[in-house]
Amino acid sequence: MTDRARDEQWMRVALAEAARAGADGEVPVGAALVVDGALVACACNRTLRDCDPTAHAEIVVLRKAATAVRNHRIGGVLYVTLEPCLMCMGALVQARIERVVFAAPDPKAGAAVSLYRVGEDVRLNHRFAVEPGPFGEESAGLLRDFFRERRAETA
C-alpha cells in the first residue's frame, strides 16, 4: 500500500468520526491514531457531551490511545479532519506523536501551520512532521454544513 493510500484509509476513519460528532450536535471533527500501522484509537469532538472544553477529538483520542498502549508517550501518526489548535498541538508534543496529517486547515485557530508551527518549534523538546492530507474539501464541507445549519437554527 502506498503512503497516500494509507493516509486515505486512516483519514476515512477520522471522517467517519467527524460525521458521528456532527450527528450528535458536536462540531464535526474526528481523529484516528495509528501506531505501527495499526489503529489504536479513534474519537470525535465531545465538548458538549462531556461538558469539557478540552474534549477535542485529538485529546479524546490521545486519552484512549494512552490507555490502550499503557503509556503516556504514545508515538504514532494522528489523522485529524481539522488542523489542531494550540491546546491539542501541546498535547501532541507531550504524547510524542511522530506525525500529524490533517484534512482541512483552520485559519482562525490552527496551530500546526496556519497561526503557529508548534510541531517544528525548536524551542520544544519534541518535534514532529505535520502534513496536509487527503479529504480536505470533504472535511471542510462537513464543517460548513454544520455551521450553516446552526446559523439557520438561531435565525
Q: Give the residue numbers annotated as catalytic, written as ranges.
A: 58
Please report how the helices 86-94 and 57-69 are oriented relative to each other, as an axis angle in degrees rounded to 10.
10
**Strand 30-35, strand 77-82: pairing:** antiparallel
Residues 92 and 150: their CA atoms lie apart, in Å, by 30
Angle CA 22–139–3, to nearest 5? 130
52-69 in b/e form (b: 16+ CB < 10 A) is eeebbbbbbbbbbbbeeb
Of 94, 67, 81, residue with least CA distance to 10: 81
Of 121, 139, 143, 141, residue with least CA distance to 130: 121
